[in-house]
Amino acid sequence: MIKQEKPLKNTLPDWQRAVIKVGSALVAPGGKGCSTKFLLSLADFIHDSLHQGKEVILVSSGSVAAGAGLTDFDLTQSLSIPEKQALAAIGQSHVMQHWQKLFDEPCAQILLTRSDLDSEKRCLNAKNTINQLTAMGAIPIINENDSVAVDELVVGDNDNLAASVAVTCEADLLIICSDVDGLYDKNPNLHTDAQLISLIKVINQQILSYAGTTHNPIATGGMHTKLQAAQVATRIGINTLIVNGRKSTTFQQLKNAQLAGSLFLAKC
């Protein structure tokens, strides 16, 4: 992990290894199968970063939504855990095929459960595998093992999974892609005077109070889990960004080392 320095105004802090979390609403918008609609600019950013000698690890949701697009299931309706697990089993291979189409580099699938990261031995094995994959020039693509894990399907915890992966892999940047520009002081969908908070030095109770709930039936997390992830990552020295993954300008800014979204500063 590189030594973190105070970033210049509107400048992305230097980084060498990033974990990027991409949600279902970006991978399979509307629950109608995988789409490149919101992923092309992200893929271009990753491609450019890899060619600069940087390392990128993806944490990708989307298996349930992809599975729904291949079946007659409607994700806006209440589904049982076995139905969601079955959809995940159907959709996961399509999510991987989808990512592979976007890159020249080989994409490697890693499915984890929370217990994998809670086990010292299995966590070390996962870290060693990821390190070897990046050394080989591959892009590790991680998802919760939804076909056997229940918790993530209930609370939408891939945000926290991404933070745990960032900690395990000793990343120096965590990027969480959302469908909003970042953290606002109030819900921008309800308040026209909502202000984007572009720099957060400390995640305190006031910051946590700004988190609302997701209004997207495909997404299962919301800002609350993103702030939880930012707390985990910044606590051990990982700068964290929450950005709007639906905007191509987001990744053009990051490509030019400019800040986008909300930056949560690492505790050095």
With respect to residue 4, please indicate whether it lies within any of the assigned structural domains. no
- Parent domain of 236: 17-264
Instruction: For residues 21-47, give the mean pLDDT.
Output: 92
Report the distance separating Cα 154 and Cα 116, nearest Å: 18
Burial of 177 (0-12, 13-18, 19+ CB in 10 A): buried
Indicate yes or no: pTM above 0.85: yes
Instruction: For residues 16-42, give the mean pLDDT.
Output: 93
Query: Are the beta carbons of 166 and 174 closer than 8 angstroms?
Result: yes
Domain count, the chain: 1
Q: Please say if the pLDDT value at position 155 is more than 50.
A: no
Backbone φ and ψ of 151, nearest 5° = -55, -45
* pLDDT band at residue 220 using 50, 70 and 90 as cut-offs: very low
Torsion sign, CA atoms 144, 148, 150, 151: negative
Report the distance separating Cα 162 and Cα 143, nearest Å: 9
With respect to residue 12, please indicate whether it lies within any of the assigned structural domains. no
User: 């080392």: which residue's tokens?
Assistant: 257
Q: Please say if the pLDDT value at position 101 is more than 50.
A: yes
Instruction: For residues 58-87, give the mean pLDDT.
Output: 89
Quick one: pLDDT at residue 13? 92
Q: Please say if the pLDDT value at position 217 is more than 80.
A: no
Which of 151, 150, 157, 155 shows the shortest CA–CA distance to 142?
157
Burial of 217 (0-12, 13-18, 19+ CB in 10 A): middle
Report the distance separating Cα 259 and Cα 265, nearest Å: 12
H helix or E strand, kind and range, residue 173: strand 173-178
Quick one: pLDDT at residue 107? 98
Q: Which residue has the higher pLDDT, 32 or 128?
A: 128
With respect to residue 70, please indicate whether it lies within any of the assigned structural domains. yes
Burial of 1 (0-12, 13-18, 19+ CB in 10 A): middle
Beta bridge partners of 242: 176, 262
Which CATH number goes with the domain that contains 34? Answer: 3.40.1160.10
* pLDDT band at residue 114 using 50, 70 and 90 as cut-offs: confident
With respect to residue 149, please indicate whether it lies within any of the assigned structural domains. yes
With respect to residue 81, please indicate whether it lies within any of the assigned structural domains. yes
Q: Please say if the pLDDT value at position 103 is more than 80.
A: yes
**Can you read off the two tokens belonging to residue 5?**
């320095």
Q: How many C-beta neighbours within 10 Å does residue 131 have?
A: 15
* pLDDT band at residue 74 using 50, 70 and 90 as cut-offs: confident
Beta bridge partners of 83: none
pLDDT tens, residue by residue, 136-150:
999 999 998 866 665
Which of 164, 134, 3, 4 shows the shortest CA–CA distance to 56?
134
With respect to residue 184, please indicate whether it lies within any of the assigned structural domains. yes
